[in-house]
Amino acid sequence: MGSVWARGRVLAALAVATAGLLAFHRAVPNFIGRLGSLLETFLPWLGLAVVALLGLALLRRSPTVLVASLLPVMAWAFLFGGLLLPVAKPGPRDLVVVQHNVSDENTDPAGTARALAAAKPDLVALEELTHSALPDYERTLGPDLPYHAVIGTVGLWSKHPLIGTRSLDIKPREIKGPWSRGLRTVAHTPHGEIAVYVAHLPSVRIRPGGLASAWRDASAGLLGAALSAEKVEAVILLGDLNGTTDDRGLAPLTSQLNVAERGMAFSFPAAFPLARIDQVMARSATVPHLRALPATGSDHLPVVARVRLPVQPG
């Protein structure tokens, strides 16, 4: 019996290490190559390591590995299991919102707009808008979403009137020249006023030295400060944030906004989605469900979410 339990000690150690990475990913330092953020970007994929470990445990007939593998299983289920639970039915105070980086190289903006309109949304946020493609989005989305605002390369289409639209300064100091990738407006909905933010944070790159995300992190900090100063109680943030909700680089946002409760919805790259970097978050509201839509002419997949507004007192 002792020899059976001694079998597979290396695999058991790997299982414990995987559980440790899942449970204590915040402890992985970020000062060297932003390794912590890099891990957190692909954190759900550690589930594949768990599956592999379980398979090897069965092949080796090792109870030690099997028992040790339960640790990462429980850690993964704690972090991500809730996203896979059944979705609650839509409620009367739900808004349907769509977020999509439409790509400035999209050769079929009209087809993309039709695909987004098919979701019957209340709000549609777009990034990487170009002057040449804008008329296609206006023409296609306009009949169902008659109110819209465009600033720089981001835009918002709405069923409900928009007021107080202004540019959102989320430009890192290191970026020189014209750069306008954020807006803030207020939507007058049947459920009250909602401050809507649309943002496109700087891209990140994976390099030999780690994750290059300094500009993204700086922009997230500026956006977080703007949200903290927002006077309207209910807020919806839609955007290509170039980061997952587990990535500590987005902590200025996730620390004060609710994220999706159900749905993995990996959105990038469209050809083989590895991470959800297109986000819908809310304050004084919840995001019960978020899912990816079929591919358009963009290198991102669109995501559609339900945002549930609370019942107002009195």
Task: Specify the CATH number for 94-308; select among 3.40.50.980, 3.40.50.2300, 3.60.10.10, 2.50.20.20.
Answer: 3.60.10.10
Q: Are 44 and 80 in contact (CB under 8 A)?
A: yes
Q: What is the pLDDT of residue 140?
A: 98
Q: How many other C-beta atoms can be found within 10 angstroms of the C-beta atom of residue 108?
A: 15
Q: What is the pLDDT of residue 311?
A: 73
60 — pLDDT class (breaks 50, 70, 90):
confident
**pTM, 2 dp:** 0.94
Give the residue, 206 or 159, on which the prediction is more confident.
159
Q: What is the pLDDT of residue 1?
A: 46
Asked whether the bond before 269 is cis by omega within 30 degrees of 0, the reply is: yes
The arithmetic mean of pLDDT across residues 286-293, rounded, is 97
57 — pLDDT class (breaks 50, 70, 90):
confident
Q: What is the pLDDT of residue 5?
A: 59
6 — pLDDT class (breaks 50, 70, 90):
low
pLDDT digits (tens, 9 = 90+) for 153-180: 999 999 999 999 999 999 999 999 899 9
Q: Is the pLDDT of residue 2 over 80?
A: no
Average pLDDT, the chain: 94
Least confident of 3-7, 192-196, 230-234: 3-7
Domain ranges in the chain are: 2-84, 94-308
Q: Is the pLDDT of residue 313 over 70?
A: no
Nearest to 140 by CA among 175, 109, 176: 109
The arithmetic mean of pLDDT across residues 231-242, rounded, is 98
Q: How many other C-beta atoms can be found within 10 angstroms of the C-beta atom of residue 47?
A: 18
Reported residue count of the chain is 314
181 — pLDDT class (breaks 50, 70, 90):
very high
Strands (E) across the chain are located at 94-101, 123-127, 147-151, 154-158, 162-167, 182-189, 192-200, 205-207, 210-212, 235-240, 278-283, 286-292, 303-308
